[in-house]
A and B are shown apart, each in its own frame.
Chain A
Amino acid sequence: MRKNNLKYYIYALFAISIFLDVVSCSDRDVSTLEKATQYSTTAEVFIDGFSQNEDFNAWGDVYNLNIDYSTFYEGTAAIRIDVPNSTDVAGTWAGGNIYTQIPRDLSGYDCLTFYAKSSVAATMIAGFGINSSGSDYSVADSVSLNTTWTKFIIPIPVASKLTAETGMFYYSASPVNTLGYSIWIDDVKFEKLGTLAYPTIQNTLGSSLFLGKTAIGDISLTVSLPTGATQKITASSSYFSFTSSDTAVATVNNDSINVIAAGTSYIMADGFDGNLIVNSNGIGSAPNPTASSNDVLSVFSDSYSNATIYDFWCGTTSISKIYVGSNAMFYFISLNWTCMVLFNSSTSAGYVDASGYKYLHADIMTPNTVTTSSALEFDLGNYSTGSNVSTPIYTYTFSSTSKLKWIQLDIPISSYTRSKLGYITFVGTNLTNLYVDNVYFHN
């Protein structure tokens, strides 16, 4: 059967099931029926077809999901997912979400199980709990598929949270070595195994956190299966009730940790082994700038509106953006040199005219041990007759007490040509990692 026909067949199936519901209701006087106070506890998601009231959203290639009547684990049918080639114009990956129109009460189950295989060895992300109503109880599992039917178990972290869930099963898969392939999935259902044990939280926090709020993000946990294997899953932090072992160091709520002081605190979740580890050096984000916005042309700061940073050029540095609450800063890791690029190298849009300003401000902080042989040089790249000309404007020399302190620099720039700046370069000597914030021109 061609794919298009199958898609319409699926929609027709839903339409027919709705039609049947309507027909069966029309004979009764619905005004005498009690309003439902409990949701259905139906466990089946896909056995030989979709369960009642289910619908499907495709992601990526919208034709990726089909029903296969000749290859299945048992019964009469399985889901077949056709992952496209990476050049496919219909979409370069396959994904989708099976959800219910009416929520289900899944609190009596402890896992979602399904059988799956694929035509070539591949990895698929699968899970449940993605729904459209706002509350997020999603769980994700990285499923290793091969050509043999295998049963997969995705534990529910805290089943009592799923009293009204619409997200039944979702998946996503990408081409392998640019090539498409097929995945078959069968017997998708929620189960109460009773043999899952030792749910344990893994620490995914970085080696140290700033003072202020850090989002918790998704929780990584492991669960012991009755097969002797340990299942790793990722779950929304909404499942968990967190406590902090040392509230003088950090406090915690559902979705963020607020670091208050230097020290270590362990974030535990009710009913789970393991914990997140909060280490704080007692250092916060950079001090808020005090210059009036009238006197400022900002490149990177949460206190001002900013010119566009189009790109970063760098040596071996890797660059990440860290958020403390809503305050962003850059983190240059293994800094030899890196440029904040202020123009679009394809279109030549951008460039910054700093000629009306006398200083370049930057807040910098290194978390590493440094000495007076460690230094940071600033260069300005100014566009002049066909190319960007780079000029060093200042070198800051660190000292043995610089570690974990924000250093605020105001670099005089009046003697430099700066009417069409293409980049600001940071060059490190005997430096490892560097935080940078509040980069702006001012008077």
Chain B
Amino acid sequence: MRFIINLTKYMGLLFVSFAYGSCTDTTEIKQHNWVLDWSDEFNTMTSDSLPDPAKWTYDIGNGTSGWGNSELEYYTKRTTNVKLDSIDGVKCLKITARSETYEGYSYTSARIKTKGLFSTQYGRIEARIKQPYGPGLWPAFWMLGSNIDTNVWPACGEIDIMEYKGQQPTLVHGTVHCPSRSDSTIDVYITQDFGYANTRLDTGYHIYAVEWSAGCIDFYLDDILYREITRTDMDTEKATWVCDNPFFIILNLAVGGGYVGDPNTNTTFPQSLLVDYVRVYKEDVQ
């Protein structure tokens, strides 16, 4: 395989291979011609300050046992938890987790999704995000297979473009979930964490992206490709690759749960996830 060199991406791969040793020398840096297919810049204020209802709908409540993760929050559609805002000159979506008693739960937050409104199969899906901070905070920018209502999770597949733990403000986590080949109710996941040595992700905006093509998903933090997860990787884990279907997008800020642990005295509420934009590009087919 030819090794195509793009300077910044080469440096990124080099960094990752020193730090984690998980990428092979023969990983090809692909060239793309991206064309913008769908976006929400969060620049246009709406009459109720909620995000564009043509693009986003809501998950409400605590789901089943904290959305399956023992999360502590009750998701709402109130502007105290989700709204368009302008902060430090950036027009953004602001999702806020609050410590308050509501509907029997101790925290509130929000989870919005493009389910039923927009989905994509392949492409570059990116968001520019400023993280919250503090133990027990779990923001995510992720995707689920659009066939989830008939192919119950994990059979629908899940791509986590960005997950982050508030007590580790220097790390992003990228993950792909697929169903086990022997039992499609069993989740098999491959995950990679990555971060900068001397920059936190909550003190400024960073770009979180995947470049997704048939049988292959590349994970990016800013300009750095930090992991590629492929059909072959899932085959090795005896899982069925289900990421050749349309997926919809989700943005949320969870509180507590098995992945991140619960908030403690080092967590100050309210905490906000700020999203400058979400953009979906397709390959230019000429």
Interface centre among A192, A193, A197, A224 (most CB of B within 10 A): A224
**A229, B203: Cα distance in complex, Å:** 16
Q: A146-188, CB under 8 A of B: which get 1 and which 0? A: 0000000000000000000000000000000000000000000
Cβ contacts under 8 Å, A193 to chain B: 198
Asked if B198 and A228 make an inter-chain contact with CB atoms under 8 angstroms apart, the answer reads no
The answer to whether A228 and B134 touch (CB under 8 A), given A195-B169, A195-B170, A197-B169, is: yes
Q: B192-235, CB under 8 A of A: which get 1 and which 0? A: 00000111101100000000000000000000000000000000
Select from chain B the residue with minimum beta-carbon distance to A226: B170
Asked if A228 and B167 make an inter-chain contact with CB atoms under 8 angstroms apart, the answer reads yes
Cβ contacts under 8 Å, B167 to chain A: 227-229
Cβ contacts under 8 Å, A226 to chain B: 168-170, 200
Total A-B residue pairs with C-beta atoms closer than 8 Å?
37
**A230, B135: Cα distance in complex, Å:** 10
Asked if B198 and A197 make an inter-chain contact with CB atoms under 8 angstroms apart, the answer reads no
Interface centre among B134, B197, B199, B266 (most CB of A within 10 A): B266
- Say yes or no for B133: interface residue by CB 8 A criterion: yes
Q: B161-189, CB under 8 A of A: which get 1 and which 0? A: 00001111110000000000000000000
Shortest B163–chain A CB gap in Å is 15
**A332, B199: Cα distance in complex, Å:** 51
- Say yes or no for A206: interface residue by CB 8 A criterion: no
Cβ contacts under 8 Å, B165 to chain A: 228
- Say yes or no for A386: interface residue by CB 8 A criterion: no
Cβ contacts under 8 Å, B169 to chain A: 195, 197, 224, 226, 228
Q: A343-368, CB under 8 A of B: which get 1 and which 0? A: 00000000000000000000000000
Report the interface size class on chain A: 10 to 19
- Say yes or no for A194: interface residue by CB 8 A criterion: yes
Q: Which A residues between 206 and 264 are near B, CB-CB below 8 angstroms? A: 224, 226-230
**A307, B78: Cα distance in complex, Å:** 68
- Say yes or no for A198: interface residue by CB 8 A criterion: yes
Shortest B173–chain A CB gap in Å is 15
**A224, B198: Cα distance in complex, Å:** 14
Shortest A232–chain B CB gap in Å is 11
Cβ contacts under 8 Å, A229 to chain B: 167, 266
Shortest A198–chain B CB gap in Å is 7
| Among B135, B199, B266, contact of A195 (Cβ-Cβ < 8 Å) | B199
Shortest A309–chain B CB gap in Å is 43
| Among B134, B170, B198, B202, contact of A192 (Cβ-Cβ < 8 Å) | B198
Q: B88-112, CB under 8 A of A: which get 1 and which 0? A: 0000000000000000000000000
Select from chain B the residue with minimum beta-carbon distance to A228: B167
**A437, B94: Cα distance in complex, Å:** 55
Asked if A228 and B203 make an inter-chain contact with CB atoms under 8 angstroms apart, the answer reads no
Shortest B152–chain A CB gap in Å is 34
Asked if A228 and B135 make an inter-chain contact with CB atoms under 8 angstroms apart, the answer reads yes
Select from chain B the residue with minimum beta-carbon distance to A110: B198
**A277, B166: Cα distance in complex, Å:** 29
Asked if B166 and A195 make an inter-chain contact with CB atoms under 8 angstroms apart, the answer reads no
Cβ contacts under 8 Å, A192 to chain B: 198
14 further contact pairs, Cβ within 8 A, besides A193-B198, A228-B165, A229-B167 = A194-B198, A194-B200, A197-B200, A197-B202, A197-B203, A198-B133, A224-B133, A224-B169, A226-B169, A226-B170, A228-B133, A228-B135, A228-B166, A228-B168
Instruction: Write 23 A-B pairs (CB below 8 A) sorted by A numbering.
Output: A194-B197, A194-B200, A195-B169, A195-B170, A195-B198, A195-B199, A197-B133, A197-B200, A197-B202, A197-B203, A224-B133, A226-B169, A227-B167, A227-B168, A228-B133, A228-B134, A228-B135, A228-B166, A228-B167, A228-B168, A228-B169, A229-B167, A230-B266
